[in-house]
Structure 1
Amino acid sequence: MYVIATAGHVDHGKSALLRALTGMEPDRWAEERRRGLTIDLGFAWTAVGGADIAFVDVPGHERFAPNMLAGVGAVPAVLFVVAADEGWQPQATEHLAALDAFGVRHGLLAVTKSDRADPAGATEAALERLRARGLGEVPAVAVSATTGAGLPELRECLLDLVSGLPAADDDADVRLWVDRSFSVRGAGTVVTGTLGAGVVRVGDALELAGSGRRVVVRGLHTLGRPAEVVRGTARVAVNLRGAERDDLRRGDALLTPTAWRTTTEVDVALRGRAAVVNRELVLHIGSAAAPCRVRPLGTSNARLRTQVALPLRAGDVGLLRDPGGHRIVCGVEVLDPDPPTLAGRGAAGRRERELRDGPVSAYLRRHGAVGTSALRALGWPSTGVEVDGWCVDPDLFAALPGALASRVAALRAADPLAPGVPVALLRQETAVPDTVLRDALTAAGLAVSGGLVRAGGDGLPDALAAVVAVLEERWAAAPFAAPEADDLAALGLGQKELAAAERAGRLVRLSPSVVLPADAPATAASLLAALPAPFTVSAARSALGATRRVAVPLLEHLDRRGVTVRDAAGQRRLRGAG
């Protein structure tokens, strides 16, 4: 399906044309038909050459401009209508400005009432105005809803128009801007809107923007027919379970759950000639009309602060309108839906330079690492350096290994006897995700074990190594002669120093006060293997030449390692020995 707006003329020139083209009445309200004036959005559809085309008929009178903008904001193309007997009217200028601001670049001119006046003059004048704005060169057809003249040609041009529209993305996250909400007896709450991209299915869960509430798609209709699946671009009516009529109104949105973030602050590019100053305006985007405070960032950008949170992404287009002056100020394009706080002298100028140089790069520099799903929710593609679902600022990624190596070296120098540097400390200091941190540690040649970073420099300080060497000389002659506590204290070996020496593989602590050379357990196992099994503690003491103070904790150490097995009588044998 294709959806196009019908805009331009204030009276029933548009409505009559749609009736003749589709056989449907686009004016939904009796007052509209009575007054010959479109007040609210109207809808009609038809098939042209096998293509379904839906029309959103927007009001022309300036008093109903917000309604007009709600209908234009979500469509990709326009059927622009001008009457031959009246020519270009002021409301057509506002419609054209709105289309330009919303970025509508595909269109077709229909000059109606060609049976009442020569359409040539109105056609040329309208084409000249369209040519000067974003629509550029468009085909033009003179038609008469009364006689039917020109309708076949109009249908051909419509088919050419929609055939040239870009294809909607089925994989896009759903954002359905609501333009109507009503109740149907026996069905409940129904909302309508233009689905620009993505897919909605019966049974899908959707999220109400701003509230986080989940609703379920109970049923779908499109072009007056029930459907199980609707793909963008399409006009769609969604029957919801879990929502009351008053829960949704024009300007709200239904979203793919967790895929969008709402915001009340965005930085935008200003599109158009009008300069903005600090003032209160209304942001029209999708079907929403949100009062906002505008703060200029230089001459080409601005910070908008809206009164309500909106589901916006980078690349979204809208317009700023002055409701008091009844005029469109300029178009806007969202550059950054999650901007930084502006603080300090010159903050606006610095921010303008950031936006000019690239908001995505600035965002990564500001945050260091951002999840790819979070970037998608902001409307940005994955960029920077990708690491396991994270996008990392390239400068940070390049500098991180060296910075980590320097930091670990400094912490080790400050406390050389520490078992290592806690990964949690480095995570807190670098503020990067675990996967990014571990990649950088690996790149820096730093190993992680038990939550600690251990570097190749885990050797003992020279002074401690010299003291341990004194013990090793003694153990060379008597490997099971454990120094007494006073002897250890005299050497300056407290528990922290002994733990460091043990980690370095220079000794083994059997208890806080019993220390032996690192190979003592293996040597003991070899000597004990020569004893008849089972053997007693006394026999083990004799074989090892050790005191009971040493033999008992040594045997218990061997028990824990599974080298020896103790029986109920307190005797032992080597595991596997008869």
Structure 2
Amino acid sequence: MQVIATAGHVDHGKTSLVTALTGMQPDRLEEERRRGLTIDLGFAWTTLTSGRTVAVVDVPGHEKFVGTMLAGVGSVPAALVVVAADDGWSAQTAEHVAVLDALGVRHGLLVVTKSDLADPAPVLADVRERLAQTSLGEVPGVAASSRTGDGVPAVAAALEELLAGLPAPDTVAPVRLWVDRAFTIRGAGTVVTGTLAAGTVRAGDRFDLGGREVVVRGLQSLGEPVEQAAATARVALNLRGVAVEEISRGDALLTPGAFRDTAELDVVLVRPAERLPAELVVHIGSATVAARVRPLDDAAVRLRLAHPLPLRVGDRLLLRDPGTRTVHGADVRDVDPPELHRRGAARARAADLAAGGGALADLARRRVVLRAEFVAMGWSVPAEATAVGRWLLAPGLADELAARVPAVVARYRQLRPLEPGPPVAVLRSALELPDVELVAGLVRAPLQLRDGRVVAEGGLPEPVQRAVSAVLARLAEQPFAAPDAEELAAAGLGPRELAAAVRDGQLVRIAEGVVLAPGVEERARRALAGIAQPFTLSQARQAWGTSRRVAVPLAEWLDARGVTERLPDATRRLR
């Protein structure tokens, strides 16, 4: 399916043309039919000769309903510009075309209606020349009469060519469905409609709607129930989890996590403007929001929105001055812009925006950013970026930070010689990182990450190392003869020194005041394997050749590690 929008003056017969093409009356409201005046968005569709389906969004032509008109054209890829042969170009036509131009619509078809009332040739030539100066460029033109039917088949044929030339939509992209209608159906509940410009919607999908989760109970496209609908398409979604009173035109159904709401953004005008008002109205999709304007230069602008919108880099906005009805197209360049405090910061920022640079330049400015947040801004991940867990680092930044780690470790150990190295939280603070998760990607050999610290081999001070080596020499001869507290203190091994030796893996703490050599678990198991099972504590003590001071905590330590099992009668056995 493809979706197009009509544009033109209220009296130019565009609604009649839509009816002639589709056999459907797009005006839904009784007042619209009575007055012959499109007030709200109308919808119709038909299947062309080729089998291609086209849906038409019929937008109001009257100047009083320009806001509604913008809600209808904001998500469509092509436009049907309708002008009457007996009237020609009008102020409302100019306004509609200015909107299409500001939105950057590049595909269109001109239809001159009421060809039975006047010669359409002069109007065709005049309007095509005017359209050629806009984003639409050279468009085909067809004359037709909805009253007589003359030219209507030619319009359908021209539509075939127009639709065949439209770029293929991205059907796997995240969904951002701007709501243009919300209502209830008895027995079904809340229903919203919109133009699906990208992505695919399926029954059962979960979306974010204003910070709450909603579920698609069912969906229709062109009045028929479907299991799924892919862009570009008109869809009606039956939602669970929200009341119709909580939804309004301009809300958006979003793929969770794929978009970030922003109330401040930097944009670049499609055409520079010497002077902008302090306040404008921003339009995107079916959304309308007031914004305060801070010009950075004659092309770059910072907008502060009255309420946040789910925007991405690359979005095209329409900025409208309600007072003069002037419209400006603007491309979103940054949805999380930097603060501007210093003198000259605004002009420097404008220069950066003008230079562009894309995702790589944006990442270089941010230096470190969450991958999901970066993608939600609308950027693709540059191949040059460094990924560390959930984070992205600017090219070269990981090497730059890693080069600083040894100095931080050395300084920490100088101040705390009995500790093997700084905890990762200390590195995070010293390197001004947003998360300790990043430290793992910055530790290079011979340093290593161990037990939440950044450590180097041979980490004990020389006097402590001599004392530990003496203890290990003694334990090599008598593996279970743990030195007592007095012996340890005499050797210069107090609680802090022992803790450092245990962290360094040179001693094993069995209990408070009881340390043995690494490998004690296997030695104890082998000694116990040589006695009858089950065994008493006394038998274990004799097998180990040690005192009760060591045997009791050692037996409990082995129980806790699953080497031995204590039985109800207080005996033990090897597992």
Against the structure 1 CA distance between its residues 411 and 359, is the aligned structure 2 distance closer, same or farther, given a 3 Å change threshold?
farther
Unmatched tracts of structure 1, length 5 or more: 545-549
Instruction: Give the superposition deviation at 1:492.
Output: 4.6
Aligned residues: 565
Q: Does the C-alpha gap of structure 1 residues 265 and 523 become closer, same or farther in structure 2, counting only changes over 3 Å?
A: closer
Q: CA deviation at 1:271?
A: 1.3
Tell me the residue number matched to 1:349.
347
Superposed CA RMSD: 3.9
Match status 1:74 vs 2:75 = yes
SS at match of 2:290: strand
Question: Which residue of the partner structure matches residue 84 of structure 1?
Answer: 85
* Letter paired with 2:402: P
Distance 1:365 1:457, change over 3 A: farther
* Residue 186 of structure 1, CA deviation: 3.8
The aligned counterpart of 1:96 is 97
Deviations, residues 21-77 of structure 1 (Å, cap 9, x unaligned): 122222333433444433322222111121111111122222211111111111000
Equivalent positions of 1:230-269 (< 5 A) are 230-269=229-268
Residue 7 to residue 510, structure 1, CA distance change in 2 (3 Å): closer
Which residue number corresponds to residue 338 of structure 2?
340
Match of 2:462 in 1: 462
Does residue 1:499 correspond to 2:499, yes or no? yes
Residue-by-residue CA offset, 1:493-514 (whole Å, 9 max, x unaligned): 4322233345556667777667
Aligned to 2:373: 374
Which residue in 2 is equivalent to 1:303? Answer: 302
Structure 1 residues 379 and 551, CA gap change in structure 2 (3 angstroms)? same
Contact kept, 8 Å, 1:405 with 1:444, in 2: the verdict is no
Contact 1:537 1:571 in 2 (8 A): no
**How far, CA to CA, are the matches of 1:206 and 1:570 in structure 2?**
60
* Residue 225 of structure 1, CA deviation: 2.4
Cα pair 1:402 1:444 within 8 Å, conserved: no
Return closer, same or farther for 1:551/1:366 CA change in 2, 3 Å cut-off.
farther
Q: Which residue in 1 is equivalent to 2:126?
A: 125
Secondary structure of the structure 1 residue equivalent to 2:427: helix
SS at match of 1:421: coil
Farther-moved stretch of structure 1 (172-181 vs 558-567) = 558-567
Opposite residue 437 of structure 1, the aligned amino acid is: V
> Partner of 1:156 in structure 2?
157
Q: State yes or no: 1:65 paired with 2:63.
A: no
1:377 to partner: Cα distance:
2.1
Residues 190-241 of structure 1, C-alpha deviations (whole Å, 9 max, x = no match): 3221111222223333332x2x223333332322323232221111222333
Instruction: Write the distance in 2 (CA, Å) between the matches of 1:37 and 1:567.
Output: 92
Classify 1:558/1:120 alpha carbon distance in 2 versus 1 (closer, same or farther; 3 Å). Answer: same
Equivalent position of 2:42 in the other structure: 42
CA contact 1:354–1:362 (8 Å) conserved in 2: no
Q: Write the letter of the residue equivalent to 1:107.
A: G
Deviates more, 1:390-399 or 1:171-180: 390-399
Give the aligned residue type for 1:342.
L
Q: How many Å apart are 1:435 and its aligned residue? A: 5.3
Distance change in 2, residues 1:410/1:145 (3 Å): same
- Note the alpha carbon deviations across 1:148-183, whole angstroms, 9 max, x for none: 222222111101111111222221222211112233
**TM-score normalised by length of structure 1:** 0.84
Structure 2: distance between partners of 1:177 and 1:449: 50
Q: More deviation in 530-539 or 344-353?
A: 530-539
**2:54 is matched with which residue?**
53
Distance 1:317 1:215 in 2: 27
| 1:463-519 superposed Cα distances (whole Å, 9 cap, x missing partner) | 444566777899999999988866765665432223334555666777766778889
C-alpha distance in structure 2 between counterparts of 1:314 and 1:447, whole Å: 39
Q: Spell out, residue by residue over 1:428-464, the C-alpha distance to the aligned partner (whole angstroms, 9 max, x if none).
A: 55435565432332x3443223222221342x22344
Query: 336-345 or 309-318, which moves further after superposition?
Result: 336-345
Correspondences of 1:480-499 after superposition (within 5 Å): 492-499=492-499
CA distance in structure 2 between the aligned counterparts of 1:134 and 1:524, rounded to whole angstroms: 84
- Counterpart in the other structure of 2:315: 316
* Counterpart amino acid of residue 142 in structure 1: A
What is the alpha-carbon distance in structure 2 between the residues aligned to residue 72 and residue 528 of structure 1?
83
Equivalent in 417, 439, 452 of residue 437 of structure 1: 439
Cα distance per residue 1:350-369 (max 9 Å; x no partner):
43344334464465346544
Q: Does the 8 Å CA contact 2:109/2:139 hold for their aligned counterparts? A: yes
SS at match of 1:79: strand
Which ranges of structure 2 fall in alignment gaps of 5 or more residues?
none
Distance 1:180 1:361 in 2: 39
Secondary structure of 2:142's match?
strand
Match of 1:547 in 2: none
Identical aligned residues as a percent: 51
CA distance in 1, matches of 2:247, 2:526: 82
Flag the structure with larger Rg.
1
CA distance in 2, matches of 1:202, 1:522: 59
Please name the residue that 1:423 is paired with.
Answer: 424
Task: In structure 1, give the amino acid aligned to 2:185.
Answer: V
- The amino acid across from 2:127 in the alignment is A
CA shift for structure 1 position 136: 0.8
